[in-house]
């Protein structure tokens, strides 16, 4: 155990911030600390850094902080430097002492310094500049470089991805994965956490809970724990009610008094199960359906050039009903311009584009959330949808995290992220069939983002959106449009699939590589001897591409089919073994065995994947027929 806090409590100004927490770092673990704003995440980092001390509690044994040895700790804060008249080099080398300027140690240090400095997007000439010449974001990068070079035993990072572009974040992810020391970080970038951490601590109700795995695995495990605890709580309440009903029924009957006393004692002996706290994130389980279905093809363009005075990109592209497409690309590549062109706010420079029949658009950008009103959230929402009852208004707002007192706030006092969430709730309630969204989750906390992710996943209409939140992009978008170098490339899979593919490409890049694969496929089909073309006839490039897409879906479908059959066979064998066991003949319940629950859960998960792939295959088959 490298570092451990046992039963630790931290108070400030008479208020308890952390209460009897247990926290540990094992070896070189990469740990994330998550929780709502104000939960005490930064307090925990300051405690580990030694800036705060635990409260004294002489009544408790074995509480406090222990470490395997004397540890070095580096802490990256939002305010990076105090002496800003130093140059970058003076700051970086201020804590170093080498035996001489030509030692192997100094050579290795400077080599890694160059790697880190250029990896974070700086020029080598920037080393001579004063810290005051850099922006706040650039100063944070330099502070992070200094900490990474010093290689402390425990590196504490508070929002390390702030002010970093996607390329730099990806570079940092790769670097941290190879970093040989322990890291504890607080970040709202969930995709970054998924790529770097192996343990998540959730800070809620002033206590810490440890979850092994990535951020996504933590979320799934937490949902599972809440589900199981809810089931156990409900079962206990039912049993308690049954016993109490028996006591009430028989306590006044002399010949049943002993029976009633026994049941009362049985009720008192029941192991107490606490009612689980509700998840702070609301999940939409029912589909959010548009008021009007709309035509099969939502948007079509032919050699459409987008831009203002000069074209930024050209697209020949169409969007099918129900698609959820995310847009990627550097700033200035035309992403927002494309959204405005699709929504009809600006015309294309040349070419053709059109919306399908009965397509209703819900448009959102950062200006959309700049609403002002003296009304409360509930009154503002009710005025927009007067046919709703007060109860329906409260229910809808509650599902978008405006429950209770939040619905009573004035719209004017809401933060930017809260206003954006309110506007998106209004958009979804108006039930368009085509959502066009520009950075819908900016300035939102994780709870708000995951609630909206759930809403957009439940939405059965079409979505076209731009987002720099890679986790949100990966969870919502089923395919992506990539804007780069005045061209646009369509990738038919999720962002994580694209990222994995990008890592494996070399040289010319993923867009060129996939286009080369398509051309090779088409060339291969056309190279079939004429005598054997009675089935193929002449295949167009579009048909060949459709065949290629169908083969990708079919390949994944067959893999999942094998897994379905394997799990079905395992369930049948388990049932057969159970029926031949002594527990079966003694009246036991096989559904309560942990192994059965795990196997059943696996089967349900695989069936869900199987169903989604079947739907995807069916959609692709319809496209091919059309």
**Does residue 82 form part of some domain?**
yes
**Does residue 487 form part of some domain?**
yes
What range does the domain containing 455 cover? Answer: 297-504
| 114 and 43 fall within a common domain | yes
Which H/E stretch holds residue 490? strand 487-491
Structure tokens at 621: 């088959």
Residue 516, helix vs strand vs coil: helix
- Strand 324-328, strand 479-484: pairing: parallel
Residue 425 has what DSSP assignment?
Answer: H
**Does residue 522 form part of some domain?**
no
| 311 and 433 fall within a common domain | yes
d(CA 110, CA 98): 12
Task: List helix spans (H) across 188-328.
Answer: 190-196, 215-250, 257-269
**Does residue 280 form part of some domain?**
no
| 171 and 305 fall within a common domain | no
**Does residue 513 form part of some domain?**
no
- Whole-angstrom CA distances from 20 to 13, 39, 42 are 18, 14, 17
The pLDDT, as a whole number, for residue 322 is 93
Residue 224, helix vs strand vs coil: helix
Which of 202, 197, 169, 203 minimizes the C-alpha distance to 184?
197
The pLDDT, as a whole number, for residue 338 is 94
Which of 497, 608, 500 minimizes the C-alpha distance to 560?
608
The pLDDT, as a whole number, for residue 591 is 52
| 194 and 306 fall within a common domain | no
d(CA 324, CA 478): 6
| 556 and 485 fall within a common domain | no
Which of 394, 368, 395, 399 minimizes the C-alpha distance to 379?
394
Domain boundary among 477, 504, 531: 504
Which H/E stretch holds residue 211? strand 207-212
| 497 and 558 fall within a common domain | no
| 186 and 251 fall within a common domain | no
Q: Are 10 and 43 in contact (CB under 8 A)?
A: yes
The pLDDT, as a whole number, for residue 582 is 66
**Does residue 283 form part of some domain?**
no
**Does residue 329 form part of some domain?**
yes
- CATH number for the domain spanning 25: value is 3.40.50.300
Residues forming beta bridges with residue 416, ordered by sequence position: none
| 224 and 209 fall within a common domain | no
| 254 and 188 fall within a common domain | no
Query: Model-level pTM?
Result: 0.74
Beta-carbon contacts of 366 under 8 Å, excluding residues fewer than 6 positions away, are 420, 438, 439, 442
Task: List helix spans (H) across 7-99.
Answer: 41-49, 88-93
Which of 431, 410, 428 minimizes the C-alpha distance to 419?
410
| 74 and 150 fall within a common domain | yes
Q: How many domains does the chain have?
A: 4
**Angle, CA of 414, 417 and 422, to the nearest 5°:** 70
| 126 and 49 fall within a common domain | yes
**Does residue 63 form part of some domain?**
yes
| 444 and 323 fall within a common domain | yes
**What are the mean pLDDT values of the chain's consecutive 10-residue runs (626 residues total)?**
92 87 94 88 92 77 84 82 82 78 83 90 89 85 89 92 83 91 93 95 92 94 88 90 89 85 88 79 88 93 91 90 92 91 94 94 90 93 94 93 91 91 95 95 87 94 94 93 86 88 67 54 48 41 56 71 74 71 61 60 74 70 54
The pLDDT, as a whole number, for residue 593 is 55
């Amino acid at each position: 155990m490298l570092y451990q806090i046992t039963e630790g409590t931290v108070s400030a100004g008479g208020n308890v911030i952390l209460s009897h927490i247990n926290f540990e770092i094992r070896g070189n673990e990469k740990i994330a600390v998550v929780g709502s704003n104000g939960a005490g995440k930064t307090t925990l980092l300051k405690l580990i850094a030694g800036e705060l001390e635990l409260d004294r509690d002489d009544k408790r044994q074995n509480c406090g902080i222990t470490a395997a040895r004397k540890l070095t700790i580096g802490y990256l804060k939002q305010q990076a430097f105090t002496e800003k008249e130093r140059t970058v080099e003076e700051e970086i080398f201020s804590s170093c002492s080498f035996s001489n300027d030509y030692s192997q140690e100094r050579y290795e240090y400077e080599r890694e310094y160059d790697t880190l400095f250029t990896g974070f997007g700086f020029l080598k000439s920037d080393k001579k500049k004063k810290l005051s010449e850099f922006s706040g974001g650039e100063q944070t990068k330099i502070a992070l470089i200094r900490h990474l070079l010093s290689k402390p035993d425990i590196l504490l990072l508070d929002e390390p991805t702030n002010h970093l572009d996607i390329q730099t974040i990806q570079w940092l992810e790769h670097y941290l994965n190879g970093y040989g020391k322990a890291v504890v970080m607080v970040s709202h970038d969930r995709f970054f956490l998924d790529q770097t951490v192996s343990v998540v601590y959730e800070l809620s109700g002033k206590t810490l809970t440890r979850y092994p795995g990535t951020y996504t695995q933590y979320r799934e495990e937490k949902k599972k724990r809440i589900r199981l605890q809810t089931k156990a709580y409900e079962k206990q309440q039912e049993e308690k009610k049954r016993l109490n009903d028996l006591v009430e029924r028989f306590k006044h009957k002399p010949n049943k008094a002993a029976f009633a006393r026994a049941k009362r004692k049985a009720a008192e002996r029941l192991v107490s199960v606490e009612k689980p706290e509700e998840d702070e994130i609301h999940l939409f389980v029912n589909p959010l359906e548009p008021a009007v279905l709309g035509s099969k093809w939502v948007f079509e363009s032919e050699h459409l050039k987008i831009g203002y005075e000069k074209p930024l990109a050209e697209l020949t592209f169409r969007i099918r009903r129900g698609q959820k497409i995310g847009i990627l690309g550097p700033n200035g590549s035309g992403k927002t311009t494309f959204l405005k062109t699709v929504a009809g706010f600006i015309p294309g420079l040349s070419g053709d584009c059109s919306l399908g029949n009965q397509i209703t658009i819900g448009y959102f950008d950062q200006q959309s959330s700049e609403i002002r009103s003296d009304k409360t959230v509930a009154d503002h929402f009710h005025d927009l949808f007067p046919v709703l009852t007060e109860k329906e208004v409260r229910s809808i707002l509650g599902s978008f995290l405006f429950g209770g007192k939040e619905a009573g706030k004035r719209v004017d006092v809401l933060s930017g992220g809260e206003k954006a969430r309110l506007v998106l709730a209004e958009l979804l309630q108006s039930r368009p069939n085509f959502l066009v969204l520009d950075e819908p989750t900016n300035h939102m906390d994780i709870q708000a983002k995951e609630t909206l992710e759930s809403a957009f996943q439940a939405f059965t209409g079409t979505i076209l959106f731009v987002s720099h939140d890679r986790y949100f992009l990966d969870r919502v978008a089923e395919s992506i449009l990539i804007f780069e170098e005045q061209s646009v490339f369509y990738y038919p899979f999720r962002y994580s699939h694209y990222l994995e593919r990008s890592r494996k490409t070399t040289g010319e890049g993923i867009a060129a590589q996939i286009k080369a694969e398509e051309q090779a496929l088409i060339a291969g089909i056309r190279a079939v001897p004429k005598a054997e073309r009675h089935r193929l006839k002449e295949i167009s490039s579009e048909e060949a591409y459709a065949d290629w897409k169908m083969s990708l879906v079919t390949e994944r479908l067959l893999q999942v089919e094998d897994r379905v059959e394997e799990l079905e066979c395992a369930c049948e064998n388990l049932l057969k073994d159970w029926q031949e066991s002594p527990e079966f003949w003694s009246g036991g319940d096989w559904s309560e065995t942990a192994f059965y629950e795990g196997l059943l859960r696996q089967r349900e998960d695989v069936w869900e994947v199987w169903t989604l792939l079947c739907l995807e295959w069916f959609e692709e088959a319809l496209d091919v027929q059309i």
